[in-house]
Chains A and B, each alone.
Chain A
Amino acid sequence: MSRSLIVLCMTVNIVLPLPALTQNSTLLLRNTTLYTASRGSIEPLLATDILVQDGRITNIGQKLTPPIGVPIIDAQGRSVTPGLFGGLGRIGLEEIGLEPSTGDYAQRLGQMRPEFDVSLAYNPESMSLGVHRSNGITFAMLAPSSETNSSIIAGLGAPVSLNGSAPSTARSMFIDLGGDSNHLSGGSRAAQFMLLRQAVIEARAPNLVMVHDERLLTPAGRQTLIDFLKGSGPFVFDVDRASDIRQTIAFVQAEKISAIIRGGGEAWRVAAELAAAHIPVILDPLNNLPASFDLIGATLENAARLRAAGVTVAISMRSPGIDEAARIRQAAGNAVAHGLSWADGLAAITRIPAEIFGVADRFGVIEKGRLADLVLWSGDPLDVTSLPELVLASGKEQSLQSRQTALRDRYFERLKQGTAH
């Protein structure tokens, strides 16, 4: 059993985890296999160079001649993709799952507060950011949750770059429906739509005379909701069961709002309706068990079936825990192993989430003129056997060190000395 420790070039110094670097990058990436994830792109651009100057992509092409002094990184044909999406979750909103003092993703005021903006709690110095950056994740969606003593309207979330900057000004409103939320709607999912309609009526008629305690919403909540009803951002409905998705589509069409389905465990069963209504689905491709009676139709082929019907598909892990983002690439790879095209698998964790959350100008594709937000991979970007070798987030090179690599280095050293006891 004895296994020899073969230490390659890695001299293990004690390297402190670095925050996101602050200098805009200037470099030439030579000879990449470039997956731009641009709309309609399927095959990669081979033997392609990417010139980045002061953080911006200034040229893409073959055999580029860089200005004097620009460092050159030879990719030797390895793959480059846009920086990846980390999903809808709690990066920077939570440190420890079971420690309430570190978790800010839900309000438990016992009131419906659509104006609850979870991005105000965002901590760009959470240790999880460094872990995810080093895994090639450059942006994520801060998502509020419905918890006991909150409401089916969880509040507002925002996309954020993981390079340490503040969240985007784009906002989405999160709403939780279905059996899991029955405890927030008096025990029935029918009451979820009743409550939503009441909230909409209050928002659309802010001067409606009501006895104070009959109102669901505060004045600030009415203002936030009417802004969304007028189109200031999409509504994200967390819903799985096919019949509930149908009711959601009816609500969306009646109110003429922009909507996204999240979860969508049985979405493939209403794929044609979703495609016709132009409602995208954010799903977890690994969600294939009848974990509840809302998920009897769960299948590994959900993503493939939805795409085949023309539905726009993005990927996020089902659980919002801070470690989940590390598995999103694996989840996309599994969707591909179960019928999704490779290009759609990559788009589902790059361009599509950037588009549906209103940050398509900053994330999700590689194009001349944009801030460089990209990853150089050691192998197939959707395979678990590859790791990032270079990460640029919003124009800045990111350290591949994190608190986790610091722990690794400390104890690898002790193991080599035989003192790990």
Chain B
Amino acid sequence: MILHNLNNLNRLFLSTLCCSILAACTSIGNHTQSSVNISLIGSRTLYPSTYVAAVSSPVLIRGATILSGTGARLDNTDILLSEGKVIALGRALLAPVNARIIEGQSKWVTPGLIDVHSHLGVYPSPGVIAHDDGNEATSPNTANVWAEHSVWPQDPGFTTALEGGITTLEILPGSANLFGGRSVVLKNVHSTTYQGMKFPGAPQGLKMACGENPKRVYGSRGIAPSTRMGNVAIWRAQWIEAQEYQRNLQEYERKVAAGNKDANPPKRDLKLETLAAVMRGEILVQNHCYRADEMATVLDMANEFNYKVTAFHHAVEAYKISNLLAAQGVCAAMWVDWWGFKMESYDGIPENIALVDAAPGGCAIIHSDSEVGIQRLNQEAAKAMTYGKKMGLTLPPEHVITWLTANPARALGISKYTGTLELGKMADVVVWSGNPFSVHALTEQVFIDGVLRFERSAPHTTPESDFLLGQPATALTTPVTP
């Protein structure tokens, strides 16, 4: 939402001129090292994932109510997890040798929840000055920064999110800048390094931000942008540069393909590499945008420069253009009941999700943008469902779960790996104490790639986060009832 830590944003007064000098400096260096390796532009291989799921015993959950994330509800059904994958769904499945058996009667099973909008790690707890790592608010275009380089894996919020059933999450830069930088998709597994959490094969995103935040941050310093029209003008100027960069890349690729050994690649430029990768479809645009009219403007801009907006985040007014978003195949990621904290959130309504979902072809996602909200996305979905039903919409739980699983997986470009309980998909699975769309439902087990990562009946006796380890005040080791 919110531009985090507003008070800290005025620390640096770099002019755009100074920024462009800095940007230029980044491309000085050895010719070979600084030349573009095209295969790395939208890189899934630089700063590579080191995550490997641990070997785990098979798990058979018997007789549960399964919401598969494909729109199906399977009552009194078994699900078998093995070697990190969902390998069988059905009745009376046989337990492999060494399988852990979970009696699922009265339990509900869903895919692991996916939050497409989190700042865990980049705005971690505790929220001290030294942890103010989410907004590189020194230039309206910081397409060169990567959120993963700010992620602090010891943020205790990862564990509390896990306890709420979150198995995958996208960490984004903040919204101070028009181009905020690259996002990263993480598996919610504790690790000493972020590379140990990085979702193998997931594309990065590009965080862009409409509206009040960029124009306020820079306008208040007397530099562009200071208006919404300024926002768009700066975006367009950068896309024009990116088009030229992309043309130079393509020219170089053509020469190489033609056997020209003297072909010179364009100089490396971290900002333009990001924007070019968007144009090549290798990086997905995740666009913070509240107002309906501004979303429509962005869609026209995407058309002008031939790139795709994958999802609008914080799309408070998406309900006003639900047909347009559906027609263009753009997802809307939304809160349920956040409104009034800024002018562009004034028209927020709790029926937003249900209305976006009701448009034929609509893609509705519930996101958190909050270390608190991420702990109970199921309850957010329950609220959205309840308001939608009150309007007369038919919203069964097997459909509602897609707002937290299949649709966010689509928006993150990881549908082929996770987001549904289909055979061969990652065994990212939550066992709930009952129907998850209730304030009374709690996670009982959370599996990531078939590995048990949280079990409510056997909670951690020491915190996963190093920060909380050995803290005298921590609540973990004190019994509930004194």
Residues of A within 8 A of B (CB): 1-10, 94-99, 128, 242, 266, 268-269, 271-272, 286-293, 295-299, 301, 304-305, 308-309, 321-323, 326-327, 330, 333-334, 336-337, 339, 380, 382-387, 404-405, 407-408, 411-412, 414-415, 418-421
B357 close to A3 (CB less than 8 A): yes
B160: A residues at CB distance < 8 A: 288-289
Known A95-B340, A420-B319, A420-B359: A408·B127 in contact at CB below 8 Å:
no
- CB nearest to B371 among chain A residues: A289
Contact across chains for B343 and A98 when beta carbons are under 8 A apart? yes
Instruction: Give chain B residues whose Cβ lies under 8 Å from the Cβ of A4.
Output: 394
Residues of A within 8 A of B471 (CB): 290, 296
B338 at the interface (CB under 8 A from A): yes
Check B12 for interface membership: any CB of A closer than 8 A. no
Could you pull out 8 A-B pairs where Cβ atoms are within 8 angstroms? A2-B360, A3-B394, A96-B343, A289-B157, A299-B475, A323-B337, A323-B339, A330-B383
Contact B439 A415 (CB under 8 A): no
Contact call A3/B355, Cβ cutoff below 8 A: no
Answer whether residue B241 sits at the interface, using C-beta atoms and an 8 A cutoff: no
Taking a contact as CB atoms under 8 Å apart, the answer to whether A96 and B437 are in contact is no
Say which size band chain B's interface belongs to. 35 or more
B385 to chain A minimum Cβ distance, whole angstroms, is 7
Docked complex Cα distance between A380 and B382 (Å): 13
Whether, in the assembled complex, B349 has its beta carbon less than 8 Å from a beta carbon of chain A, the answer is yes
Q: Are A411 and B320 touching (Cβ within 8 A)?
A: yes
Interface hits, B111-139 → A, CB 8 Å:
125-128
A270 to chain B, nearest CB (A): 11
B458-482: which residues lie under 8 A (CB-CB) from chain A?
Answer: 467-468, 471, 473-475, 480-482
Q: Is the CB of B468 within 8 A of A327?
A: no
CB-CB < 8 A to B362: which residues of A? 1, 3
Q: Tell me if B372 is interfacial: C-beta within 8 Å of chain A.
A: yes
Summarize B's interface: helix, strand, loop or mixed: loop
CB distance from B464 to the nearest CB of A (A): 13
**Which residue on chain A has the smallest CB distance to residue B324?**
A421
Q: Does chain A have a CB within 8 A of B376?
A: yes
A271-B482, A408-B349 known; A337-B358 Cβ under 8 A: no
A304 lies within 8 A of B440 (CB): no
Residue in chain A with minimal CB distance to B392 = A8
Residues of B at the A interface (CB closer than 8 Å) are: 125-128, 156-157, 160, 212, 216, 296, 319-324, 327, 337-343, 346-351, 355, 357-363, 371-372, 375-376, 379, 382-383, 385-387, 390-394, 399, 437-442, 467-468, 471, 473-475, 480-482
Q: Which residues of A contact B358 (CB under 8 A)?
A: 3, 5, 415
Shortest CB–CB separation between residue B337 and chain A, in angstroms?
Answer: 5
Query: Are B360 and A412 closer than 8 Å at their CB atoms?
Result: no
Would you give the shortest CB distance from B68 to chain A, in whole angstroms?
15
Q: Is the CB of B371 within 8 A of A337?
A: no
Docked complex Cα distance between A86 and B125 (Å):
27
For the complex with contacts A269-B473, A383-B382, A419-B323, 11 further pairs of A-B residues with Cβ separation under 8 Å are: A3-B357, A96-B340, A96-B346, A289-B372, A290-B125, A308-B481, A334-B439, A337-B440, A384-B438, A414-B323, A420-B319
CB distance from A280 to the nearest CB of B (A): 18
Q: Is the CB of A290 within 8 A of B156?
A: yes
Chain A CB within 10 Å — which of B160, B341, B387 has the most?
A: B341
On chain B, the residues within 8 Å of A408 by CB distance are 319, 349, 351, 355, 391
| Contact (Cβ within 8 A) A386 B342 | no
Contact A98 B212 (CB under 8 A): yes
Q: What CA separation (Å) do A95 and B441 show in the bound complex?
A: 34
What are the residues of chain B within 8 A of A289 when measuring CB–CB? Answer: 125, 156-157, 160, 371-372
What is the CB-to-nearest-CB distance from B176 to chain A, in angstroms, rounded to a whole number? 14
Assembled-state Cα–Cα distance A10/B340 (Å): 27
Contact of A293 with B128 in the complex, beta carbons under 8 Å: yes
Given A290-B467, A333-B439, A412-B324 contact (CB < 8 Å): no
Known: A289-B156, A384-B386. A323 touches B340 (CB 8 A): yes
Q: A295–B481 Cα gap in the complex (Å)? A: 20
Contact B341 A323 (CB under 8 A): yes
List chain B residues, Cβ under 8 A from A299. Answer: 475
Kindly name the residue among B327, B337, B438, B481 whose own CB sees the greatest number of chain A CB atoms within 10 A.
B337
Say what secondary structure dominates the interface of chain A.
loop
Q: Is the CB of B323 within 8 A of A421?
A: yes
Is the CB–CB distance between B319 and A411 below 8 Å? yes
- The 6 A-B pairs with the shortest beta carbon distances in the complex, nearest first, are A333-B439, A299-B475, A421-B324, A8-B392, A297-B473, A97-B341
Q: What's the least CB distance linking A187 to chain B, in Å? A: 14
Q: Please give, as numbers and ranges, the residues of chain B lying within 8 Å of A404 by CB-CB distance.
A: 339, 348-350
Cβ A339 vs Cβ B391 within 8 A: no
A405 to B144, CA, bound (A): 42
Which residues of A sit under 8 angstroms from B391, Cβ to Cβ?
7, 10, 408, 412
Residues from chain A with Cβ under 8 Å of B372 in the complex: 286-289
Judging by beta carbons under 8 Å apart, are B482 and A290 in contact? no
Contact (A291, B125) CB under 8 Å given A7-B392, A286-B372 = yes
Q: In the complex the two chains form, what is the Cα distance from A155 to B348 in whole Å?
A: 31
A54 to chain B, nearest CB (A): 31
The smallest C-beta distance from A413 to any residue of chain B, in angstroms, reads 11
A415 with B359: CB separation less than 8 A? yes
Residue of A nearest to B471 (CB): A296
Q: Which of A2, A99, A291 contacts B127 (CB 8 A)?
A: A291
- Tell me the smallest distance from the CB of A268 to a CB of chain B, in Å: 7
Q: How far is the CB of A319 from chain B (nearest CB, A)?
A: 9
For A2, A10, A98, A327, which residue has the most chain B Cβ atoms within 10 angstroms?
A98
A299 to B468, CA, bound (A): 13
CA distance A292 to B471 in the complex (A): 13
Partner pick for B341 among A5, A8, A321, A333, CB 8 A cutoff: A321
Interface pair A384/B382, CB less than 8 Å apart: yes
Does A5 lie within 8 Å of B393, measured CB to CB? yes
Instruction: Using CB atoms, name the residue of chain A closest to B472.
Output: A296
Known: A10-B391, A420-B321, A421-B324. A383 touches B440 (CB 8 A): yes
Q: A308-B481, A419-B323 are in contact. Are A291 and B382 (CB under 8 A)?
A: no
Cβ of A412 and Cβ of B351 under 8 Å apart?
yes
Which residue of chain A is the closest to B476 with respect to CB atoms?
A299
Could you say which residues of chain B place their CB within 8 Å of the CB of A9? 392
User: Contact check: which of A6, A99, A327, A336 meets B337 at CB < 8 Å?
Assistant: A327
Residue of A nearest to B384 (CB): A384
* B383 neighbours in A (Cβ, 8 Å): 330, 384
* CA distance in complex: A268, B479 (Å): 11
CB distance from B290 to the nearest CB of A (A): 12
Residues of the A chain whose Cβ atoms lie less than 8 Å from the Cβ of B320 = 411, 414, 420
In the complex, the answer to whether A98 meets B341 with C-beta atoms within 8 Å is yes
Given A96-B343, A97-B340, A304-B480, residue A336 in contact with residue B440 (CB < 8 A): yes
Q: Are B360 and A330 in contact (CB under 8 A)?
A: no
**Per a CB cutoff under 8 Å, which of B126, B156, B337, B390 touches A326?**
B337
Closest chain B CB from A361 CB (angstroms) = 31
